[in-house]
Chains A and B, each alone.
Chain A
Amino acid sequence: MSDITPATAPTNFYREIAELMITCLNLEVAADDIGLDDPLYGDGLGLDSIDVLEVALVVSKRYGLQLRADSADNQHIFSSLRNLADHIAAHRTL
C-alpha cells in the first residue's frame, strides 16, 4: 500500500473531528482548545487506548474507514488532531 502524504484537510474538517472526539469521549474541553498539533496521547489531550478504540469506531461508522494498528503510521495518525483529520480525509469512503 502506498501511503502518499495526504493533502491537508479543509479547516472546518479539523473542527468537525475535534467536535466528534469531544462528543464521543465526553471531554470537558472546547473544540478550539484542542491545538492542531498538540499530542492526543499522554501530555496533550491525555487520550489512552480505550479512547482510541472509541474514536475509531465512530470514525468507521461516520466516514466508512477502518483504522488498522498494523499500518506503520498508526502511531502517527493519533499523534495529533491534524494527522488524524488528514488521515480520515484522505481515506474516507463516506
Chain B
Amino acid sequence: MQAIPLLSHTHPDQTVAWRQNQSISARQFLADVAQLATRLPAGKHVLNMCSDRYHFTVGLAAAIVSGKISLLPPAHTAEMISQLKRYAPDVFCLCEQAQPSIALPHILYPTTPAPLTDAYTVPHIACEQRVAVVFTSGSTGTPQPHPKTWGFVINSVRAEAERLGLMCNEKITLIGTVPPQHMYGLESTVLMALHSGNALSDQQPFYPADICQAIAAVPAPRVLISSPVHLRALLDSELQLPPLTLLVSATAPLSTELAAALEARCQAPLLEIYGSTETGLIATRRTALTAEWQLLPGISLIAKGEQMHASSEHINPSIAMQDIIEPTGNSGFLLHGRTADMVNIAGKRNSLANLDHQLMGIPGVIDGAFYMPDETETDRVTRLAAFVVAPGLDAAQLLAALRERIDAVFLPRPLIFMDKLPRNQTGKLPRAALQNLYLNRSAA
C-alpha cells in the first residue's frame, strides 16, 4: 500500500504558514493538527468553514489523519446544507465562530495553539484514502459528489508546483484571494503549499488595498493566487503592489490585454491555470504571450462524441470537460467557451438545466427559464437573466425563494415576469427566442 506524507517539509523548523506576521513551523503545524484531531466528533464527514486559511488547513489535515472526509459544496445555501445532510447524515461543521445559518452540529476551532513537543513524526496517508468530496451543482437539482483520494490530489498539486516553478529551494509564500473551500483554492493555495515545501498565508484578502497589505505582510519571494475578478480590481485600483515573483489566475479566462497589463504592472509572469472540479488542474498558459494552453505532463485529451475528455493515469476513467476544446497538437489546445448548458459566473459553475430546475421547483412558479446573455465585455462579470410565469408571486418573494436554493451570483438580473414563455411546439425554449425577449426588453 503506497502512502504519501501529510506534508513535504523535511525539517521541523521549516515554515508552513505565515499567520499574523508570524512564521508557523512544520512542528507547530503538526502539533495543531494532532490537537484538533483529538477534539473532532465521531462523525466521518466535515464541513470546514474556517475562513483563516491556516485554520482551514489544520482542519483539513486533522480530518485526514483521523480518516475523515472533508465535504466541499459549491455554496452554503439552506438547500445545499440539507442536501449535504442527506448525503452524509453524520456531517458536522468546523468553524471559527458559530454559524447560525448552517443547520449542522458545530465544533469551534481551538482558540490557542497546541503546546510543542520534541517528537516530530510526519503522518503518512495511504494514496487510496478518500480525503475530500467536492460537489458540483449537477443538472437535476441534486449536487454531484466527486470523491478525491489523497493520491489523486497530491499527484495533481505536485504537477502544478512543477509547472509553476515552485519546486525550488527558495522559500516561497503563496497568498490566495480565493477561498480554500473550492477545488482551485484547495489545490493551489493549500495542498500545493504543503507539497512543494513552501508556505501559505493565512489571509484571504478581498479589496485591492487588502491584497496589497496581505502581500506586504509576508517575506519575498511571493506568489499571488487569484481570479480575474480580483486581478482586474487590483489593476484598476492603481495601487502600488509589493513585488511578486508570479501571478496565478484561474476560474474564468483572462483576456490577453488584462494579462499583459498585469505583467507590466507587477514585473512578473502571469500563468493561467485551467481545470475543473472533476479533473483538478490539467493545463496552464502564459496568457500575455499565447492563447494556447499546454497540458500538464501525463494528461491527454480524447474526443468522445461532441465532447473532449481529459485522461491520465490518475484521471481514469476519463472525464468530460465542460468547455469547447480544440486540440492544436504537441499537448496544446485552445478554449472556445463553454458548452451550451454551462454557465460560469466569477468562477462559479452551474448548468442552466439545474438553475431552471431550481426555479421551477418554487411553489407558485408555473413556468420559467434562465438565460445567459452574450458576454459583451471581457474581464467583466455578465449576469444571468430569468423569465418567469408566476402570477401569484412578486419579485421579492421569488428572489427570496431562489436565494434559499442557489448561490447569490446566479440570481437573475433582470428577473422578468411574463404571461407565458415562447415555447415551441415541442415545448422547447430555443435560445434565440429568449435572446429576442432579452434584447427587446433592454431596448424598451
Contact = CB atoms under 8 A, between A and B. Distances in A.
Interface stretch (B3-11, B105-113, B203-211): B203-211
A30 interface: no
A50 interface: yes
Nearest to B407: A48
A42 B209 CA distance: 25
A76 to B, nearest CB: 15
B207 A53 contact: yes
Contacts of B400: 43
B61 to A, nearest CB: 26
Given A28-B413, A66-B239, A49 B209 contact: no
Given A43-B400, A46-B399, A53-B233, A68 B207 contact: yes
Nearest to A28: B414
- Contact residues on B (Cβ < 8 Å of other chain), bracket: 20 to 34
Contacts of A49: 206
Could you tell me the dominant secondary structure of chain A's interface residues? loop
Interface residues of A, number: 20
Given A28-B413, A68-B209, A69-B207, A42 B403 contact: yes
Contact of B233 (A27, A42, A57): A57
A66 B206 contact: no
A84 B385 CA distance: 27
A56 B399 contact: no
Interface string A51-91: 00110110011000011111000000000000000000000
Nearest to A53: B233
Interface in B246-287: none
A48 B409 contact: yes
A50 B210 contact: no
Interface string A20-58: 000000111000000000000011001011100110110
B206 A69 contact: yes
B229 interface: yes
Interface in B208-250: 208-210, 213, 229-230, 233, 236-237, 239
Given A46-B411, A53-B207, 20 more contacts: A26-B413, A27-B413, A28-B413, A28-B414, A43-B399, A46-B408, A49-B206, A50-B346, A50-B381, A50-B409, A56-B208, A56-B233, A57-B233, A57-B236, A60-B237, A61-B236, A66-B239, A68-B210, A69-B206, A70-B210
